[in-house]
Amino acid sequence: MSRGARPSVALAAIVACCMLIVCASNHAAAQGPAADPDAGSIGGCVESIPKGAARPELTETFPTHGTSGWAATLSIAVRHGKGERVLPSGLDLASAVDAKNYLRRAGFIIPNQDGGAGAELWSEPDDPTKTQGTTHLELPLVVLPESLGRHVMELPPLPVAVARANGEIATVCTHAHSIVVEDPIANTPDAEPKPNPPPRPQREEWTALKKAVLWGSLGVLVGALAAYLVYRWLKRPKPVLPPPPPRPPWEIALEKLDEVRCAGLLDAGRHAEYFDRVSDAVRGYLGARFGFDGLESTTDEILTALETHAAGFAPLSEISQFLSECDLVKFANLTPTPEQCAFALTSGEHIVRATAPSVAPGPPAEGGQS
């Protein structure tokens, strides 16, 4: 640990050691079976050295003069074996009430560690040429005598715990130190109150901002989650709508025949095209109605299919005559008259209506047949 660091664990360990002074007899009883018979006590502080272990060496300094209300620092240098740790364990400073009371009765107060007089603990870098290491400990203590005037106060011995590599704990004690304490204005004639010290930066916990950031972050997280869920819901696979039912073939045929009537082919003299479109509409309808390919079938094939699938239902004689006239126009290059074209259209519509299941037959065809 570098010099200047102020770990709360180190200070808590010092306070724990101070509590050992209060409970010296219990500590000695607990460590008695494993302690060195040569171990003794210093001013009530019980030392405990495990058998076969060398006693750590302490070099300590404490000011001989101080000022009431000011901090006096106890400096301790511990020489110990490599791999050993000084003050290995700690105790929460807020719960060390007994240790604080013990030091307060002696006239010493542990200052606030967040101020300018915190405890420091650091170790010197390892030296390969040496078999021991050195750890430095500085503990500031505020001197507060009970009354005004000059006082001679005594800092009681403090135990220092050192953990060995095998887990055993060695406890050594510092010596008692005397300090002459003067009042801050003891040597100032006609002392006047001093002005307030300059301001120091303070740490402030901005709880409102912390809560705002916390709730804002929570709101952003909830909003993002809600947006993601809405996005997934909008992108969910939607059921495919069933296709519309196919139109009945008789409706399609009647629509095509009506288109031929309104196309103006007769006025344009396109009689063959008129006849051909009427023939294709009726052939396609018969194939779709009775289950065969009417456009790619010959007249004989159509009649054979109708005899098989629509015997006694379709007017075969009328259909045969209609298909024969269409073949003459298509294959014999016969040019139909307008009357023949009109009759073919009427005959085709009658065939469709006669064979459709829900379409009533139309009126009988008018006009003659050529």
Lowest mean pLDDT among 10-19, 209-218, 321-330: 10-19
Distance CA 177, CA 353 (A): 129
Distance CA 325, CA 370 (A): 9
- On whether the CB atoms of residues 124 and 134 are closer than 8 A, the answer is yes
Does residue 151 have a pLDDT over 60?
Answer: yes
Mean pLDDT, the chain, rounded, equals: 79
Q: Once rounded to an integer, what is the mean pLDDT over residues 208-230?
A: 94
pTM: 0.44
Closest residue by Cα to residue 351 from 308, 289, 298, 263: 289
Length of the chain, in residues: 370
Q: Enter the DSSP assignment of 71.
A: E
pLDDT band at 213 (very low <50, low <70, confident <90, very high): very high
Continuous segment of H or E residues that includes residue 155? strand 151-155
* Model pLDDT for residues 261-320, shown as the tens digit of each residue: 998 888 888 888 898 999 999 999 999 988 888 888 888 898 888 888 877 777 888 888
Closest residue by Cα to residue 50 from 167, 173, 175, 135: 167
Q: Label residues 280-296 b or e (16+ Cβ within 10 Å = b).
A: bbbbbbbbbbbebebee
- Count of Cβ atoms closer than 10 Å to residue 299 Cβ: 15
Closest residue by Cα to residue 160 from 273, 75, 231, 97: 75
* Model pLDDT for residues 322-349, shown as the tens digit of each residue: 988 888 888 877 788 888 888 899 999 9
* Model pLDDT for residues 16-57, shown as the tens digit of each residue: 444 444 333 333 333 444 444 445 666 667 888 888 888 889
> What whole-number percentage of the chain has pLDDT above 70?
80
Q: Once rounded to an integer, what is the mean pLDDT over residues 99-120?
A: 78
* Model pLDDT for residues 53-72, shown as the tens digit of each residue: 888 899 999 999 999 888 89
Res 101: pLDDT: 75
Distance CA 356, CA 289 (A): 8
Q: Enter the DSSP assignment of 199.
A: P
Which whole-number Å values give the CA distances from 147 to 144, 150, 194, 318, 366, in the listed order?
A: 9, 9, 21, 140, 142
Helix axes 338-355, 316-331, angle to 10 degrees: 140
Closest residue by Cα to residue 354 from 312, 324, 301: 312
- Angle at Cα 321 formed by Cα 317 and Cα 325, nearest 5°? 170
Res 92: pLDDT: 44
Lowest mean pLDDT among 1-5, 134-138, 293-297: 1-5
